[in-house]
């Protein structure tokens, strides 16, 4: 055991505790009370403690029996001289000002118990009022009141409940902090898509066909033919030193950058339409020559397979209009002849 330091008159309780511990640890060196008193007086060598030690020794020497008295009486007189008279009052003030703040519940109650004992407070109602009045974290007090269990009945139950709730809260914060440090799951990025070039479809060249004698044809379901034509002959391309696919110099057909796959063309089939109805109108007497009924002329040969659907429809519509007009002219002529009395 370490010996106590020199007593300066301050912190009497702490200094006396160290002296008592050393004496109890070395009982064989202190067989009687006089040895204990002399040991303590040997550390009172400065200031007010030294003056008091001198006074105590003078009192012993003036006695006829030269007796230092008992160890208990010595400690009582020493405590009455050097103990802080306002210790209880200061401890009570510090107890009411104590706040938990960021300390744990165990650390808080350690300080709370020390101040309670120094202040000499034994009333449990006063201790509970101090805890509820703001000494403990307000969220913990709210959880105590909001729990489904009954409120604690005494100070010991309040202390146990507060330590339990504070421990659960701190454990939850540790779990949340550990969860925040874990790497979040992130899906792998989707690789970018490679753009693919699609050759544009080529339209079949429009063929202009004379709209002659096509009014009696209509488009059929049609057939599809592939290819746009015959490519250049390979020997001819070698002779001209050009590509046999695009007829451009500088490369060969195997590596032709201008080659496009041939588009498909569609050719229409046509079938005969039924002949339109004919209306006979007798000519007037003054007309010697009978006008032929308007109809499609077959004078100009044409290829029906090369005729477009829109062109044929226009021809049919024009022919029907001519028929209607001729019929109307004949009706008017007959009506006029009847009025003149022919």
31 and 70 share one domain: yes
**Domain final residue, candidates 104, 137, 171:** 171
Structure tokens at 246: 């695009």
Q: Above 90 in pLDDT, residue 183?
A: no
**Exposed/middle/buried for residue 217 (C-beta within 10 Å: 0-12, 13-18, 19+):** buried
72 and 118 share one domain: no
**Domain final residue, candidates 42, 64, 82:** 82
74 and 93 share one domain: no
DSSP 257: S
Residue 105 lies in a domain: yes
Residue 72 lies in a domain: yes
Domain, as residue range, for 152: 87-171
**Domain final residue, candidates 59, 82, 105:** 82
54 and 129 share one domain: no
99 and 167 share one domain: yes
Other residues' Cβ atoms within 10 Å of the Cβ of residue 293? 13
52 and 94 share one domain: no
Residue 246 lies in a domain: no
- The proportion of the chain whose per-residue pLDDT surpasses 70, expressed as a percent, equals 67
How many domains, the chain? 2
Work out the average pLDDT over 258-264.
Answer: 66
Q: Above 90 in pLDDT, residue 188?
A: no
Residue 47 lies in a domain: yes
Q: Above 50 in pLDDT, residue 127?
A: yes
Q: Which of 14-28, 144-158, 272-286 has the highest mean pLDDT?
A: 14-28
53 and 112 share one domain: no
Residue 166 lies in a domain: yes
103 and 164 share one domain: yes
Work out the average pLDDT over 34-58.
Answer: 90
Residue 300 lies in a domain: no
Q: Above 90 in pLDDT, residue 22?
A: yes
Q: How far apart are CA 233 and CA 150, in angstroms?
A: 104
Residue 50 lies in a domain: yes
74 and 91 share one domain: no
What CA–CA distances, in Å, run from 41 to 139, 141, 150? 52, 50, 56
pLDDT the model gives residue 59: 85
| 7, 39 contact by CB (below 8 A) | no
- pLDDT one-digit tens code per residue, 217-236: 555 555 544 444 445 567 78
Residue 4 lies in a domain: no
38 and 110 share one domain: no
109 and 164 share one domain: yes
pLDDT mean across residues, the chain: 76
More confident residue, 152 or 63: 152
């Amino acid at each position: 055991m370490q010996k106590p330091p020199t007593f300066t008159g301050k912190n009497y309780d702490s200094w006396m505790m160290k002296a008592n511990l050393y004496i109890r640890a070395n009982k064989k060196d202190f067989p009687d009370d006089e040895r204990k008193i002399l040991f303590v007086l040997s550390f009172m060598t400065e200031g007010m403690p030294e003056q008091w030690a001198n006074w105590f020794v003078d009192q012993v020497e003036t006695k006829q029996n030269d007796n230092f008295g008992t160890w208990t009486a010595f400690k009582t007189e020493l405590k009455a001289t050097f103990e802080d008279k306002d210790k209880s009052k200061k401890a009570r003030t510090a107890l009411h000002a104590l706040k938990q703040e960021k300390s744990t519940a165990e650390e808080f109650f350690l300080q709370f118990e020390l101040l309670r004992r120094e202040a000499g407070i034994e009333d449990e109602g006063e201790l509970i009022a101090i805890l509820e009045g703001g000494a403990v974290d307000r969220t913990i007090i709210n959880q105590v009141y909001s729990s489904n269990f009954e409120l604690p009945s005494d100070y010991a139950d309040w202390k146990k409940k507060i330590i339990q709730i504070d421990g659960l809260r701190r454990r939850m914060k540790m779990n949340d902090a550990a969860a925040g440090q874990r790497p979040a799951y992130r899906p792998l990025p989707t690789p970018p898509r490679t753009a693919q070039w699609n050759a544009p479809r080529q339209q079949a060249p429009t063929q202009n066909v004379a709209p002659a004698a096509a009014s009696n044809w209509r488009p059929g379901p049609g057939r599809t033919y592939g290819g746009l034509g015959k490519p250049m002959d390979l020997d001819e391309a070698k002779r001209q030193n050009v590509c046999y696919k695009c007829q451009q110099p500088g490369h060969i057909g195997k590596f032709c950058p201008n080659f496009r796959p041939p588009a498909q063309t569609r050719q229409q089939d046509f079938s005969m339409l039924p002949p339109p109805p004919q209306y006979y109108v007798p000519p007037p007497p003054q007309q010697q020559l009978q006008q032929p009924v308007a109809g499609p002329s077959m004078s100009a040969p044409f290829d029906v397979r090369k005729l477009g659907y829109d062109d044929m429809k226009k021809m049919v519509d024009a022919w029907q209009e001519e028929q209607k007009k001729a019929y109307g002219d004949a009706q008017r002529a007959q009506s006029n002849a009847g009025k003149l009395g022919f």
